[in-house]
Amino acid sequence: MRQKPTVLAREIVASSRLFRVEEVQLRFSNGVERTYERLVGRGNGYGAVMIVAMIDADHAVLVEEYCGGTDEYEISLPKGLIEPGEDVLAAAERELKEEAGYGARQLEHLTELSLSPGYMSQKIQVVLATDLYEERLEGDEPEPMRVERVNLRELSSLVQNPQFSEGRALAALYLARDLLTQRGVFVP
């Protein structure tokens, strides 16, 4: 395994309500020195969760919400921050109820994904939710989210939808589809 670079200095060079930009000066094992900048979230430090919620053996839940980063309404998987004292599965259950109006009798942690590890520290926990039932909790969204569904057989065409652009959500859907296929729950 490679030796990680030595940190020579760290400094926050910019800050906003949501993010900090950290400048990190590094020395690699071969003596080369470089300065990296990375986006460090101001979140609660407990991480985030993204839910692949299966309505039935073929269909997963998507939600539509306004996304400030793209300045567009986009569809993606339900997701949100993990609250202090909350474990990953409890956060998934809460976010699913708040954003999509469903609870789940079965929740399973699948993996952890990053968005852009070259310059961002944020990671998200992917959870598979099955055996859904209708239940809504009040959330912190500024407006109600529209709920859609996607057929797992049509994931390759989902990327053609101009409202869908989140790579983590696409990876999570393919991962869930492969797992459900291995288990014999989903038949491609």
φ/ψ (deg, to 5) at 79: -160, 165
Give the per-residue pLDDT at 73. 95
Least Cα distance to 110 among 127, 90, 122 occurs for: 127
Q: What span, in angstroms and rounded, lies between the C-alpha atoms of 111 and 172?
A: 9
Give the per-residue pLDDT at 45. 63
Q: What span, in angstroms and rounded, lies between the C-alpha atoms of 37 and 43?
A: 18
Give the per-residue pLDDT at 122. 82
Give the largest Cα separation in the chain, rounded. 58
Cβ burial 136-150 (10 Å sphere, 16+ → b, else e): eeebeeeeebebbeb
Tens digits of pLDDT across the chain (188 residues): 888 999 999 999 999 877 789 999 999 999 999 999 988 876 556 789 999 999 999 999 999 999 888 889 999 999 998 998 999 999 999 999 999 999 999 999 999 998 888 877 788 999 999 999 999 999 888 888 999 999 999 999 999 999 999 999 999 999 999 999 999 988 77
Give the per-residue pLDDT at 53. 98
Question: Residue 18 burial by CB count (10 A; 0-12/13-18/19+): exposed, middle or buried?
Answer: exposed
Q: What span, in angstroms and rounded, lies between the C-alpha atoms of 135 and 108?
A: 19
In order of 22, 106, 171, the CA distances from 127 in angstroms are 30, 10, 12
Helical residues (DSSP H) of 81-131, grouped into ranges: 88-100
